[in-house]
Structure 1
């Protein structure tokens, strides 16, 4: 995997379930009991123990996050967050998506986690357009890291080349994605 980005923000193209980091973030559904896409891949790689622990967490609201052990993953922890379903942009989706990143980082900092890897939250079956989702992810993480010592490093893990290039461009700019990516 090739990494690009600033000192504390990086982007790689690859499979999030293979990263050796303190925590990976799961783009989960509200039940936290597994699903498709990244969620299913994380549950399969972690093994049945992850599902057993998730059953004790009581689900998760959209925009919030919960933490579990990583079990069979190289990552020691999984931070589960529930992104918003895209409904056209006027239903508070941007605020909920930003909250996913912020709450995940808050949990990571509280647990003493130094390295955390994020997938592209809500851009799969939840339909969030990749460009504004990227801008929100980069800007929210950059803002959080500017005010907190932990985590020391945030890695955006993009499965596809298009998302990788989008995040790489946003990080190279230094101040997040351009306004056109936010839909402004």
Structure 2
């Protein structure tokens, strides 16, 4: 069974806001997020990108303080997914 099956489905969405909150507590002005769990853990890449972007966007809208958020992608497919989804968000 993959690690993300129902009992851990929300793990990515729970981890990202915690990292941002820690960054704010440390007075950080930027933060970097790797696209986690899409390699050996086989979490679906598109779903991981959706969760990461949604959670980070939601948190940033509710909390001021970060000037820069960087998503780090480990392969071309993830980079294209994030690029496409972020461009779509900017247009809408």
Answer yes or no: is the 8 Å Cα contact 1:108–1:150 preserved in 2.
no
Equivalent in the alignment of 1:85: 3
Question: Size of the alignment, in residue pairs?
Answer: 89
Q: CA RMSD of the aligned region, Å?
A: 1.6
SS at match of 2:7: coil
Whichever structure has more strand as a proportion of its residues is: 1
Equivalent in the alignment of 1:128: 43
SS at match of 1:91: helix
Asked if 1:154 is matched to 2:72, the reply is: no
Equivalent in the alignment of 2:26: 111
Match of 2:87 among 172, 179, 182: 172
TM-fit CA distance, 1:111: 0.6
Query: What TM-score, normalized to structure 2?
Result: 0.87
- Bigger RCO (CA 8 Å, 6+ sep): 2
Equivalent in the alignment of 2:54: 139
Structure 1 unaligned segments of length 5 or more: list them. 1-83, 176-184
Inter-partner Cα distance in structure 1 for 2:19 and 2:85: 20
